Amino acid sequence: MLDLGLTKMAVIGVVALVVLGPERLPRVARTAGALLGRAQRYISDVKDEVTREIELNELQKVKSEFAVAATNIENAIHENLREQKADLEVAWNGGSTQSPEAEQAAAPLPLSAPPDVASWRGDTATGTRCRNWRGKQAVTPTWYKRTAARRRHVQSVAARVARHPSAYPAVRERFFNV
């Protein structure tokens, strides 16, 4: 860029003052500043666009590398599947590619009786349910509700006053002494 020092700018200012005069100099300076600002914004926009293009090219290279790697992996998987399919077809058609020890290991084990369903439930198979079985299925246990002092039954204020008369003496006095 231009190498403008303080002395060069002072000389340019004095020449502009002499040539343009004191009346037109502020307007010309404003216009020159606006043009300079536009030029700087244009240059920064061009630089940003060039940087984006370079990054885009790099990303496209990375994308192509990933695509090549993905196709290689896909081809390897398909080749492995073809080999397994061929082995299964040979085994299905009667040809055996396994050793006798592997065939013995692959022989099915005798099935035992099915496990008793009640053994893991903890009750009999025909078991009867307790009276409060639905309460036991609740998410929050009752002991926690008691220790956390959560109300299980909602009561109105009048019902609470009737149930605990000594807890609300001021309310009763105001109500009856009106």
Whether 81 and 12 map to the same domain: the answer is yes
Domain for residue 88, yes or no?
A: yes
Which ranges of the chain does DSSP label H, i.e. alpha helix? 6-20, 25-92, 100-105, 117-121, 133-136, 142-147, 157-163, 169-176
Question: The domain containing residue 153 runs over which residues?
Answer: 141-178
Predicted local confidence at residue 171, as pLDDT: 55
CB 130 within 8 A of CB 136: yes
Domain for residue 45, yes or no?
A: yes
Residue reference for tokens 């630089």 = 47
135: Cβ contacts below 8 Å, ≥ 6 apart: 142
Predicted local confidence at residue 13, as pLDDT: 85
Q: What's the structural domain count of the chain?
A: 2
Domain for residue 62, yes or no?
A: yes
pLDDT for residue 81 is more than 70: yes
How far is 170 from 161, CA to CA, in rounded Å? 11
Predicted local confidence at residue 52, as pLDDT: 93
Residue reference for tokens 């040809």 = 95
pLDDT for residue 148 is more than 80: no
Residue reference for tokens 């040539």 = 19
Whether 11 and 79 map to the same domain: the answer is yes
Whether 67 and 146 map to the same domain: the answer is no
Mean pLDDT along residues 98-109 = 58
pLDDT for residue 97 is more than 90: no
Hey, CA dihedral for 115, 117, 121, 123, is it positive or negative?
negative
Domain for residue 11, yes or no?
A: yes
Domain for residue 65, yes or no?
A: yes
Predicted local confidence at residue 155, as pLDDT: 77
Domain for residue 125, yes or no?
A: no
Instruction: List the one residue out of 112, 133, 106 whose CA is nearest residue 122.
Output: 133
Domain for residue 106, yes or no?
A: no
Whether 19 and 91 map to the same domain: the answer is yes
